[in-house]
Amino acid sequence: MLLAIDCGNTNTVFAVYDGDDKRCEWRAASKSGRTADEMGVWLNQLMAMKHLEPEAITEAIIASVVPAAVYDLRLLCHQYFGAPPLVVGEPDVDLGLQVLIDRPEEVGADRLVNAVAAHRTYRGPLIVLDFGTATTFDVVDADGNYRGGVIAPGVNLSLEALHMAAAQLPRVAIGRPKTVIGKATVPAMRSGIYLGYVSMIEGLTRRIQDEFGAPMTVVATGGLASLFTEATDVIHHLDNDLTLRGLLEIHRRNAAHRMHP
């Protein structure tokens, strides 16, 4: 079985795949300083609850946007599962796409993994909209190559910044407002954040397509994707498993290369 690890700035997702079948998935906060032993004990307990033995894990793959976490994640795979992992972004890992931007080394691993999965599933050209710590718009051409994108502050990050910078504005939960015009502070904040983001999504997807010069399929993923997909018709597909499927595809591609060099 394959252990796929997607380490983001806010959360780390661990998933176990048996072929194409996702057997289990768990999510943990991406706390700095968490050791391989801490993660190993936690993960083994969760696997035991699903009647999975550590020996069942024979392969692993990691995508991380937190460089400091890679060492312990790699150690976790080695020590607790005996599975030396592929690490997305390392030179020997073939993604099956070209990164056609000025500084390819700066692209987050998660964005490239999403591009791989989106191209395989939906073809292209594509805009992959990921609601994470940052909200990213990634452009994938019809050949599956990564063409760049847009990075905006994430929804929760914007809410926190608004609360921290303005003494009289409280923390609020993100949610779809009943009206555009708020009759009190909290409804006004919810309207500004939620409908402001909807307007940003609609405006940026239109501008990206105008600049790209062709209609594009828009795929949304990430924790808050479903909340915004229901509010606009510019998003064509909601795909919460996109990153994990990309890891599965990259692992499959590289495993095939090892078998048939």
Which active-site residues does the annotation give?
Answer: 110
Distance CA 56, CA 5 (A): 16
CB-neighbour burial class of residue 192 (10 A; exposed 0-12, middle 13-18, buried 19+): middle
- Annotated binding-site residues for substrate read 108-111, 185
Distance CA 127, CA 2 (A): 28
What does the DSSP 8-state code read for residue 184?
S
Residue with tokens 């599965």: 248
Q: How far is CA 47 from CA 25, 39, 41, 43, 180, in A?
A: 10, 12, 10, 6, 46
Any residues with CB less than 8 A from the CB of 114 and at least 6 apart, and which? 128, 130, 138, 221, 242, 243, 246
Tell how far CA 155 is from the center of its chain. 15
- Annotated binding-site residues read 6-13, 108-111, 130, 133, 185
Whether the link from the prior residue into 125 is cis, omega within 30° of 0, is: yes
Residue type at position 98: Q
What is the residue-wise DSSP string for 80-98?
HH--PPEETTSTT---SS-
- Annotated binding-site residues for ATP read 6-13, 133
Comparing CA positions, the residue from 58, 65, 14, 17 lying closest to residue 36 is: 14
Tokens linked to 169? 């504005």
